[in-house]
């Protein structure tokens, strides 16, 4: 399909999916609306050190909650999506179910992120 539209660390389960294109994002988002699965969107930026700080913890959460979709969006690559979700600082984690925002965590807050994923999981 030409240019890389998304990349995955390993498999589709228990990992964080990096979404690079708008088309890829739209597809993902539409799929998410159709299912009952919780989706965690990780908004970050290459130059944001706090985002790098929490990266390992997010991967651990993706493994722990393998039934939850973890998607990572670089706000420089997809600024419109970041704007749609009103992302003003990073990292911002938005929990979405059936296309609707359930809750969000702004900042490096591992315990809180764990708590709300558990809360909205099912």
Partner 1 sequence: MLPIISLGCLTPHALSPTLSLSITKPPYNTPLPPLLYSTNPKHNPTNTHNLSMAVSGFEGFEKRLELQFSSHDPVTGIGLRQLDFKSLEQVLHQVQCTVVSALGNQHFDSYVLSESSLFVYPTKIIIKTCGTTQLLKSVQPFINHARTLNLHIIALRYTRGSFIFPQAQPYPHTSFHEEIVYLEDSIPHHLCYRKASVIPSKLTSHSWHVFSAGAVEYPDDVPYTVEVCMTDLDQTLARKFFRHPNDGKNGDSAGREMTGLTGINRINPNAQICDFAFEPCGYSMNGLDRDCYSTIHVTPEHGFSYASFECLGSMYNDMADMVKKAVKVFGPATVSVATTNASDDVCMRIKGAVEQLGMKCRSCSMDVVPAAGMVVFQTFTTRRKRI
* Interaction site with partner 1 (CB under 8 A): 45, 47-54, 88-91, 105-109, 111-112, 115
Out of 17, 41, 51, 78, the active site residue is: 51
Q: What is Dmax (Cα atoms) for the chain?
A: 40
Nearer Cβ to partner 1, position 37 or 110?
Answer: 110
Nearer Cβ to partner 1, position 25 or 43?
Answer: 43
Distance CA 38, CA 66 (A): 11
Residue 55 C-beta: closest distance to partner 1, Å: 10
Residue 65 C-beta: closest distance to partner 1, Å: 17
Q: Could you count the other beta carbons within 10 Å of the beta carbon of residue 31?
A: 12
CA distances from residue 20 to 74, 98, 103 in whole angstroms, order as listed? 7, 22, 24
51 carries an active-site annotation: yes
48 carries an active-site annotation: yes
Distance CA 92, CA 96 (A): 13
Residue 52 C-beta: closest distance to partner 1, Å: 6
The residues annotated with a catalytic role in the active site are: 48, 51
């Amino acid at each position: 399909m030409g240019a890389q539209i998304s990349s995955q660390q390993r498999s589709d389960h228990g990992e964080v999916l990096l979404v690079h294109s708008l088309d890829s994002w739209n597809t993902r988002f539409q799929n998410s609306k159709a299912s009952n699965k919780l989706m965690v969107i990780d908004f970050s930026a290459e130059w944001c050190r706090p985002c790098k700080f929490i990266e390992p913890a997010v991967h651990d959460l993706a493994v722990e909650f393998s039934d939850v979709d973890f998607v990572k969006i670089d706000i420089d690559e997809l600024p419109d999506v970041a704007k749609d979700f009103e992302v003003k600082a990073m990292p911002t984690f938005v929990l979405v179910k059936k296309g609707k925002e359930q809750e969000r965590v702004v900042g490096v807050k591992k315990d809180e992120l764990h708590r709300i994923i558990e809360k909205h999981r099912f």
